[in-house]
Every structure is written in structure tokens, then in C-alpha cells.
Structure 1
């Protein structure tokens, strides 16, 4: 690999939701980014289908709010017995949440990827290598070198990058180079996934965008509505089931018979998929990182696989530009794993538990009356130790997104920057006393001028809150002096002050 290869600040390997989110945020910050994917065109069928309110908030930052009307909502989530009776129900349609968006959406990944690839094409800071495979990676002292091959012509070229982020899925080419191994949470399952486009309405399917899992069957089935009028069915295979037998077309038609005749739909996709619950033991090795499915996998029952990868991307997307520009030490990037890995593991463990419960449930207790519909609260774990204010009970929690009096959402004013939100009395004089620091750190000061802002600060028991670009709370304050201390603590990180002042242990605040 030649030293004369074209150089980038960051090379992003893999252009799924994680890679495209990271690449777009980096390019928007002026970082020179290479975007590499072995597929020349976006995926033609949806792999990920669900996004939550936190992820929609990131999509807002990416400039994708115009796509939100194309997404569909989620109704009630039902857990059925073999006869189709509801044993448990959760109301998934909670309307607008404190994040400013609906709690859950179903979206069409090919459309999303097409828009994001268009953003990359329009960017002066990004260079796309679509249809190129990564043949080799060398993690050098000064830069990382990548050898690429054009899948269509066979031509090879070399590039270099200060950092490489593998967002290239479960079969990552970056992870083995790092020497990273999986920690297995023992929830490996196979599923037959069938997406169909129905020509008629089936009276046997639930109305109102409801989802169900029917357990107690030999092969439990999950049903969900997709966007664009598509439907998805997933059948869980047992360990002794023959994959080839389940892939037979007549078997698929038979599985769908309870709801449709073979002439009443078009099969858009029929794939066998193996779900695992694993977390990589190393997310960084010198100049190499992994994110998304390259770093973690989980069964689909929480709908958090893609959302977790997007969180990885936003975490790296505000730290890498600081390091690339020389405004923060490379050690800052160690906090990516320390923050994200514990947070992510909560989702993996929960999804693994759900998957094992469904597989183990051979019999479902009968009931006489329909169960009450319960509201499912969001799973919002605390971030792991990292760049947070020590001793603050709110440090490492997900921030809210209030609206201003005119209806504008907070993130539309702040952008992908730090935000200092507070009352005028607590923020009083901060522009005068901390103006240079605010400018160096790129902190947007926001006056809590609406009832929604006042309510949020009241819930925090604070007069001001400092929020990171990834929307997680750095810390809170109740006086001008505390605000100044909060800013100074953050500036200590940016200015490479002693480590004790840089990385606060969030767990000490809980």
C-alpha cells in the first residue's frame, strides 16, 4: 500500500444506516471522509424497518424530516397464544414524546439510503466508493492504509485515512483486523423472513397497524406492517429444523395460508436469517473502530438493532472532528467504547431474553377475559463512563427536545452542536464571562423561553442543562457559577487538561 495513496480524515466502511449517518455528519462538519461500500446501489428491500423517537431525532438532524410523512406508525403490540387470543398487549402508539417525535415508526430503508447517498454525492467533503470491496487494511503509526477493488472492473486502488470506522455489518472486514472477538449472550436463532405485497385485505390480520407474536406454535410467528403497504412475517425455526426445507416455495405458501391464498400477494423477499446476541469485546484498536452490527448484534424483538447503530454513529460523529482538527486528544476516542458498550449491552441482553422466552414457550396459559392494554415505556439506559460531569445525577441520560413558542424544535436551532439551555437568571452574564469558551467549544446558548423548556428544567430540578451534540446530557447547573464550572469542565477536555478532569464516571452519579 503506497504512501502516495489518496488521504482522508476518516474512511467509513459500509453504507447502511450506521455508516451513512456517520459519513453525513462528518462531512457536514467539514471532515474529509471516504465512504466505501461493496454494493454499487442501495439495498432493494428493507432490512431494518423500525426506528424510535431518539433515532427520528437524529434523522431530523440529518435533514430528513421531509421523509417522516412517508413512515407509518405502530399500533398495539400483541402477544398471542396458539389460538390467536391475546395474552399480553402493549400500546406502542404513544403519540409525540419528549423527543419531539412519535415513539415508533416503520420506514422503508431503500428510500432512506437513496436520500442519504444523495446527500453524500452533494457534499464537497465526502468521496464515495460504491461497488468497491476492502481487500486489506493496515493500521499504521501515522495513518491507516486500505486496499480497495472495484467489484465490476477488478481495478485496485489504495487510500489512507487518519481513522477507519467499520460499519460493515456482522461479517465485518474491519473487526478481524482489530483482533476483536464476540462475547455471546446465548440467543442464536434462525428465522424465515417473508415480505409480501398483498393484493387483498386479510380479515385474519390485526387492524390499525398492530403487531403480534404468536407463540406456543411449533414455529412461533411474528407479524408486522411495513411501509409502502408491505407486510412482514417471521417464523422462528427450531434447532432441528432443516433450513432447505423451510426455504421451499410450497412451504412458504403453506405458512401464509392462514391469512392469504397464494394468488393474493406477491412475495417480495424470502430469506433465512440467523439472529445472534453478541457484543464485540473491543470497539477500538488504535486508528480502527467498529460500529453498528460490526460491533453488536441482537434478535429483532426490541426493534433496536438499527437504532443502536445510529447511536454509535452520533457518538463518534462529534468526537472525531475534534480529534481530526487537533482540538482534542486522541484519547477522547477511547470514550466511544466506554460510553456506548455498556449502554448497548442492556439492549442486547434484553432482546436475548425476549428471544429465548419466545422459543421456550411451548404452552401459553389460557385466559378468560381480554387483558388490559399496557403502555410500553421506552428503554433508555444510562450511558457508560465517559465525557460527563461527575456527580451529576442527569449526566449520561438522554435529553429532551422541547419546542419554542413558535413550534420550532430545539435541535433545529442548535444543529449538531453542544447546547446550553437555561433560564435567563441562571445564564445571566454567561455570554460575557464565558464567551471565548463558548466560541471555542461551539456551544449554542438557548434561553428557556417556552412552557415546554420550563417544564423540562423543572423535571431536571435545574436552571440550566448542557447537552452534547449526540443529545445526551453532559451536566446541569443551578447558578451562574455552576454554569461557568460546567463549561470549564468541558473545556478541560477540549484543551487536553489532566485526565482526571476529562473523563467523569457517570456511574458515580447514580
Structure 2
């Protein structure tokens, strides 16, 4: 496998491939990792959950700072103050972490798996055939070489060479905001709620947007990343020219006086900004490519979609692209993937990417509280409720009773606490079963399930394990009071408090099953357990 680009998207893809024992090479044209906070800060709750699975969440928490909420002012008046803490649905809160720290943490994890990024190496072209991809590379000294890979992942950012060679076009064209923006990292001497993202907007009576100041807290005392419109002198001198998207060293960066002027214009009276560490001007373009796959080549992250800088949507969406793609490509490399499995990457991720881009554009110049239910809005922004319900790769088969709730096919499979396993003195989490590179078959037995039915579930577990080459791990979750005969080939846990049955809608008698994919989404569910339907679903994912 060849991954082009060592940003968060490319590193995530490489980690997931390496975790599965797939030989992977990562190249990046940058000679050194990023060392300044010129990109995303916000790490979404769903990304934190992914990082737990990858084994880096503790390091991320230690390096970052929690974002507790958001305070919004419109025309100088506070209109919203939202507390993001205390939501039971969240396994983790919203973390503030500069992207260069994200890349350092993911890079270290990849190195621990035996893979180091080839830096100063640029992709100049590639060709593909039925068996693989031949990529042409040039290093920092100008030496040219070629490399062969079964598949290529283009995670090479907004100026993607992979996207350009594939001839991918932006759906509806690549759009650009007319305004020129600036960023700066400063200390601010105000009394705002600690850990709150603070936003001021000015909207005229005719609805025109004439001012914006967004301040994201960074680690430190009263340190913030400030984003606002560039001053008129910069709008007039370079704002009217052709400024590609992203950050540009070619232009003199804004000074502390420019940041101060923006705060004077929109922020609290008497506020002073000091200690400017870094600043830049940037232009925002947005759009999404017409397709995410061309044969053996895929695009992900900013190579596939460009976003307004709203809460790190671009970086977090790119990480989820890679999280969705890597397990599927790994199966294909091993020859274990069904013929249509790789097509599901575009079928699942492009609709998700388009929805995120469209919403980010729609709320870019508003007060951002566009939903009446603030809780639902935050869960959506954190991508906790993002789902693949329309995917051809997910489904369910039930009788008239059906499920009494629970995650629907394509939705994120939530964690459950309070499971017990013989020989273990402490409670287990459901994520203790699903964590890793495998799919998980959760077989639930309600009260009154007969010994013969339980032995049939054991036989099914053995068959599923064999037919998927061990890629699916089955577990039996037994309701309290269920008499379970000795089972040799099916691990048994007790749903001691009924938490699984409640969270997954399996309360009552009878059997049920959930297949949880390696990316943590429900692939299939059935109640009662229907072997033929389960096998038909597995045939959509695995060969044989």
C-alpha cells in the first residue's frame, strides 16, 4: 500500500493498515513535520473514540485542553451560551489540540508499528492496471524512483496531486468565499468562561454579514487562536488577487495591531491582546469531488473535500474517511473482501462529506446555532450521529416484534458498561469486545432462551468465524437469569444490569444479533437471529 500525505488523514490510514499487518509506505513532500498551529484545533468526540481504539487517546488528552462550551455574541449582545459537558452520550468531551500535536502523536503511533514517513518525497505521477499502481516519486535531492503498490490512497491535502492526475472535479465547481481571513495566536486579558469557544458576529439589519471574530482557547492561560476578517489594507492589496486556499507564507503576516483592531471592533471593550506567537492570512475555498475512487486509487481528507474553517470539520472528517477506508482495503489486500466492498467507501463517505461541507458553508456567517435542540446540534457537529443508514452495505432482518430501539444499521454502535465475564473481577465495557481490527458479532440471549437455541448460536459462531477467516469475533451476551449450558466455542458474558438490552433494544425474550464493523458502525442486525440473513450480509463484506 502507498499512502501519499502524512497529515492526520494519511497517518490514520497508515496506522489502520499497519495494525492489520499490511505493508504500507507513507510519503510526504514536506521535509519536516508541521511545527506551528496553522491548522485545525478542535478534536471531535467521535475522533477521540477512534483514538481510544488506536491507543493514543491518553496522550492526546495530556497534550490538549478541554473545550467546555461555546458563547456567542451577535451585534454585541450575548445570544447563546452552551455547555458541552455532562452529555451522557459522549465517551469523551471536545478536545482542543493543535494539528501539529495531532500529527506528532499519530506519527509516533505509526512509528511504533514499524512504519516511518518518507519525507521530502513527492508524487509526480502514477499509472494503474488490474494488479496494482505504479507511482513515480522524486526526493528532495531530485532523485527519481518508482514504486509498486496494490492500492494508492491520496491524502495529500487541498492541492492534491492524486486528485489532479485522476481528473476529479468538484461537484458544482470549487467555490470561494470573497473575504480574506487572518489568524493569530495571542494572549487575551478578558473574563470569558474558561474553555469556551467565543464568537462575535455583526449582522446588519438587511442581513449583511459585516464582521466576525472567533476565539478558540489553546493550552495555557488566556491563550487563544483568533480568526477574523483580514484588515482592509490586506483585503485591498492581496485580497482581490488570486489567492489559493490555505495559508500562505508568501504574504506578510498580520501583526499584533491587526489582531487588536479586530478585537476592538467586535470584542469586549478594554480587551488587550499580547504575545503574538504566530499569524497568517488565508482564503477559504469549499467543495467536494465527484468521486472518491478510481480503480485502485482513492482520495480522502482535503484531497476529497474542502471546508470552511469551522470547528476542525475538515481534519476530523478526513480522519473518518481513513477510518472507513482502511479496514476495507486491508481485506482487499488479503483477498478476503467481497467484490463490492471497496465501492462502499464512496457510497458511505461521500454523502457524509457532502452533508458536512454543505452545513459548514451554510452556517459559516451566522451565529452557528441553527438548530433548536442544542444537544442534537452538538452531537451532529461532533459527528456522533453521523451514520451510513443509506449504505448498500448495511441492513437488518426482523420479525414483527423487531427491535425496541437501539442503534440502527449504519449508525455508530455505542458503548455499554456493566458487563461481567467469569474469571474477571471487574466490570467490562462493550468496547472491550469491539476494540481492535476485527468485526464483532454480538449474540444476545433473552430470558427463556433454551439450551438448544444457545447451542445453535454456538454452532453459528463457529461457522461465522471460519467463513470470515477469523475476521469476525462472536460473543454471547446473556440476560440476567438466563441459564447457559457449557459452551466451548462461544465466549459468554452476562448483561448483569440489562444495560446492553436497554441500549440495543433487545429487551424481552428470544435472541438477537448485532454485527459491529471494525469502524464501530452497525453493519447488520437481526431479531430473532436469522442465520441465512446473517450469512447473506457477511457475503457482502467477505469472500467465500
Q: TM-score range by the shorter chain?
A: 0.7 to 0.9
Which has the higher mean CA deviation after the structures are superposed, 434-443 or 219-228? 434-443
Q: CA deviation at 1:323?
A: 0.8
Aligned to 2:189, which of 195, 202, 216? 202
Aligned to 1:463, which of 497, 503, 512? 512
TM value normalised by structure 1:
0.82
Paired residue secondary structure (1:324) = helix
Q: What residue is the counterpart of 1:428 in the other structure?
A: 454
The 5-angstrom pairing of residues 344-355 of structure 1 reads 344-355=353-364
Structure number with higher relative contact order (C-alpha < 8 Å, ≥ 6 residues apart)? 1
The 5-angstrom pairing of residues 358-507 of structure 1 reads 374-375=374-375, 376-379=377-380, 380-383=385-388, 384-389=390-395, 394-405=408-419, 406=426, 408-414=428-434, 415-425=436-446, 428-429=454-455, 430-441=457-468, 442-448=471-477, 449-451=495-497, 452-458=499-505, 463-480=512-529, 482=530, 484-496=531-543
Residues 350-376 of structure 1 deviation map (CA, whole Å, 9 limit, x = unaligned): 1111014469x9xxxxxxxxxx99434
**Inter-CA distance 408–208: structure 2 relative to 1 (3 Å threshold):** farther
**Inter-CA distance 215–450: structure 2 relative to 1 (3 Å threshold):** farther
Structure 2 residues without counterparts, runs of 5 or longer: 204-209, 240-251, 399-406, 420-425, 478-494
Residues 308-332 of structure 1 deviation map (CA, whole Å, 9 limit, x = unaligned): 1111111111101111111124532
1:255 aligns with 2:262: yes
**Inter-CA distance 356–208: structure 2 relative to 1 (3 Å threshold):** closer
The 5-angstrom pairing of residues 286-325 of structure 1 reads 286-325=295-334
Paired residue secondary structure (1:215) = strand
1:284 aligns with 2:285: no
CA contact (8 A) 2:66 2:195 kept: yes
Q: CA deviation at 1:17?
A: 0.9
1:28 aligns with 2:48: no
Paired residue secondary structure (1:386) = coil
Q: CA deviation at 1:397?
A: 1.2
**Aligned pairs, number:** 467
Quote the Cα distance in structure 2 between the aligned partners of 1:248 and 1:18. 29
Paired residue secondary structure (1:180) = coil
Q: CA deviation at 1:107?
A: 1.6
TM value normalised by structure 2:
0.78
Quote the Cα distance in structure 2 between the aligned partners of 1:297 and 1:45. 21
Quote the Cα distance in structure 2 between the aligned partners of 1:195 and 1:495. 49
The 5-angstrom pairing of residues 61-460 of structure 1 reads 61-67=53-59, 68-83=61-76, 85-98=77-90, 100-102=91-93, 104-124=94-114, 126=115, 128-151=117-140, 153-184=141-172, 188=177, 190=179, 192-198=181-187, 202-203=189-190, 205-216=191-202, 218-229=210-221, 230-236=223-229, 241-242=235-236, 244=238, 247-249=253-255, 250-256=257-263, 265-357=274-366, 374-375=374-375, 376-379=377-380, 380-383=385-388, 384-389=390-395, 394-405=408-419, 406=426, 408-414=428-434, 415-425=436-446, 428-429=454-455, 430-441=457-468, 442-448=471-477, 449-451=495-497, 452-458=499-505
**Inter-CA distance 17–457: structure 2 relative to 1 (3 Å threshold):** same
Structure 1 residues without counterparts, runs of 5 or longer: 1-9, 362-371, 498-510
Quote the Cα distance in structure 1 between the aligned partners of 2:411 and 2:527. 18
Q: What residue is the counterpart of 1:59 in the other structure?
A: 51
CA contact (8 A) 1:144 1:287 kept: yes
Paired residue secondary structure (1:465) = strand
Quote the Cα distance in structure 2 between the aligned partners of 1:16 and 1:261. 39
**Inter-CA distance 23–443: structure 2 relative to 1 (3 Å threshold):** same
Quote the Cα distance in structure 2 between the aligned partners of 1:495 and 1:263. 60
CA contact (8 A) 1:21 1:62 kept: no
Residues 432-487 of structure 1 deviation map (CA, whole Å, 9 limit, x = unaligned): 2331322443222234425332321238998332111111111222223x2x2343
Paired residue secondary structure (2:152) = strand
CA contact (8 A) 1:162 1:287 kept: yes
Q: CA deviation at 1:21?
A: 0.6
Q: CA deviation at 1:190?
A: 4.3
Quote the Cα distance in structure 2 between the aligned partners of 1:327 and 1:317. 14
RMSD value over aligned CA atoms? Answer: 3.2
Quote the Cα distance in structure 2 between the aligned partners of 1:460 and 1:283. 40
Largest Rg, 1 or 2: 2
